[in-house]
Structure 1
Amino acid sequence: MRKNAAPYVFLAPTMLLFLCIFLFPIGYVIWTSMFRWNLMKPQAGRHFIGFDNFSGMLANDQFRASMLVTLKFVLLSAPAGIVLGLGLALLLNRPFRGKRPIQALMLTPMMIAPVAVYLSWKFLLEPTFGIVNYVLGWFGIEGPGWFSDAGTALFSVALVDIWSAVPFVFLVMYAALQAVPQDPVESAQVDGASRLRIFWHVTLPSIKPVLLVVLIIRIMDTIRIFDNIYVLTKGGPANATRTVQFLDYELAFNSFDIGKGSALALIIVAVILIVGSLLIREMNRTNEELRV
């Protein structure tokens, strides 16, 4: 019995910590999502309403509009960041002079505090005295209000997110390319295959599992994006950058509607889990194919 109990005794502190910092908050959010509870109206009290917060949120026009904004942001940011990161990894996956300083420079955005990055971009793209519009003026181009125009705000926020994410994608994909077996590549070169065909038929299938992992991480990051939107646009203008995560922040911490905020948080988690599970299933299928 002592031998069988020993693993559980050693795991007990970690499991207790896990219960405290993970399961308890989730359970509390699930519990509060079942109530009509607004801290701005303490006289109204707290009333159990079951799943009404969820049904009301799914029928809410603001929720649907924020989900559409989130979908646009995911489609703008996630694929572009992965393509750019993979492209840079392919360019640097060969010997040339000055390679190491360029690799170090590529990782610079990961070493800067995110808020500092967002504020720097906010000044760079400022419509009146920002350097980007100033340079565009040299060519007779009138720069837009990058973050103040509803037509360009979401694109501008996605641009900042892509710039921040490319170093991570580059680092992971560069490591994956370094692990690609060289025998198939050399055989394809002997057979006269072009670089594009070698990449498509040899390199890409070898790095596909890693690519799917990066895609999962990037999609999850873009769905729950909040910090750069808060710093750059505050969800505006005219709710053009009001993602579902930012709407949840407004409900929970501006309106103090704890019930609706908790329900929306669980909906966001459910969306991430569904998307993530589909991509993980594809990743597992790819791994099985590579083993065969």
Structure 2
Amino acid sequence: MNQNLKYFLFVIPAIAYIGVFAFFPSGEAVYYSFLNSQGQFTLSNYKELFYFNIGGTIINTIIVVSLALFLELLLGLGIAAVLTWEFRGKKAFSTLVIVPMGVATVVAAIAFSFIFQTSGGYANSFLKLIDLPTFNWYANKYISLLTVAISDSWKNTPIVALILLSGMLSIPRDLYNAAALDGAGPIRRFFYITLPNLKKFIAIALIIRGVSEFNIFALPLILIGYHPSILTTLAYDLYSTSTIYLSSAAAVILLAFISVFIAINIKLGGGNK
């Protein structure tokens, strides 16, 4: 009993930190989301969100999350597959792959704002170099959201790649050797051996990144501003516009929490079937 008490005492600072800096602000946001300007409990704050196109904002958030997760999973699989090979310069390649994780989000956002500039941006300069027409990366809502997803996936793909790499390295090589002897090519080995054995690792990567994707803020704010809005930028827009929208901003935050919990529940529930 004394030993267990000692372990518990070591954990208390971590519990206090999480409670003060995570659970308390979250609970306060939920509380304020049900208060009006007179301090009375009401649901009018949630009705008011329809005037700020909350439906379109939720759709925009889902689009960004889906595109970013797709790109991160696709690139992560490719990078992890390359890192399973032995080749000259593997250490240098591994270092380059991990570099985006150390770049601050604001710095990455500013860098990509230079890349996707409609006039003189690096992306359009490259298109000119290979004799392709230039492109307006902010021509409409969907292209703007794609720009955000591409920028976000560059920074976070290394996390997915490392998770998938650990999964690939855990697959016995005997399975690949046996499949090769039976005449299975690289593509069939990938779909019938690699992917089935990576299901749990893919689920872990998608859950970790999916939760984080709902929290992206600085990157879309710098790249596209408040329009098209996602949940985090809408909440900040309402909060910074006037104090009368403080409760509405808290309601948006609560909806973001609910969206994350629903996504996790769907994923975990589907994985248990």
TM-score by length of 2: 0.88
Mapped to 2, the partners of 1:6 and 1:139 lie a distance apart of: 65
Mapped to 1, the partners of 2:94 and 2:207 lie a distance apart of: 24
Contact 2:231 2:253 in 1 (8 A): no
Query: Is residue 272 of structure 1 aligned with residue 249 of structure 2?
Result: no
Mapped to 1, the partners of 2:11 and 2:223 lie a distance apart of: 44
Mapped to 1, the partners of 2:89 and 2:4 lie a distance apart of: 57
- Consecutive unaligned residues of structure 2, counting only runs of 5 or more, are none
Partner of 1:107: helix, strand, or coil? helix
Aligned pairs for 1:1-292 within 5 A: 12-37=12-37, 46-57=38-49, 59-60=50-51, 62-147=53-138, 150=141, 152-235=143-226, 239=227, 241-256=228-243, 257-284=245-272
Partner of 1:101: helix, strand, or coil? helix
Mapped to 2, the partners of 1:132 and 1:125 lie a distance apart of: 6
Shift of 1:22: 2.9
Mapped to 1, the partners of 2:192 and 2:127 lie a distance apart of: 41
- Consecutive unaligned residues of structure 1, counting only runs of 5 or more, are 38-45, 286-292
Q: What amino acid does structure 2 have at the position aligned with 1:212?
A: A
Q: 1:137 to 1:279 in 2, by over 3 A?
A: same
Mapped to 1, the partners of 2:268 and 2:140 lie a distance apart of: 37
Flag the structure with larger Rg: 1
Q: What amino acid does structure 2 have at the position aligned with 1:254?
A: T
Mapped to 2, the partners of 1:2 and 1:116 lie a distance apart of: 49
TM-score by length of 1: 0.83
RMSD (CA atoms): 2.5
Mapped to 1, the partners of 2:4 and 2:104 lie a distance apart of: 47
Q: 1:137 to 1:196 in 2, by over 3 A?
A: closer
Most deviating of 226-235 and 129-138: 129-138
Contact 2:68 2:149 in 1 (8 A): yes
Mapped to 1, the partners of 2:2 and 2:92 lie a distance apart of: 56
Mapped to 2, the partners of 1:95 and 1:14 lie a distance apart of: 41
Q: What amino acid does structure 2 have at the position aligned with 1:246?
A: T
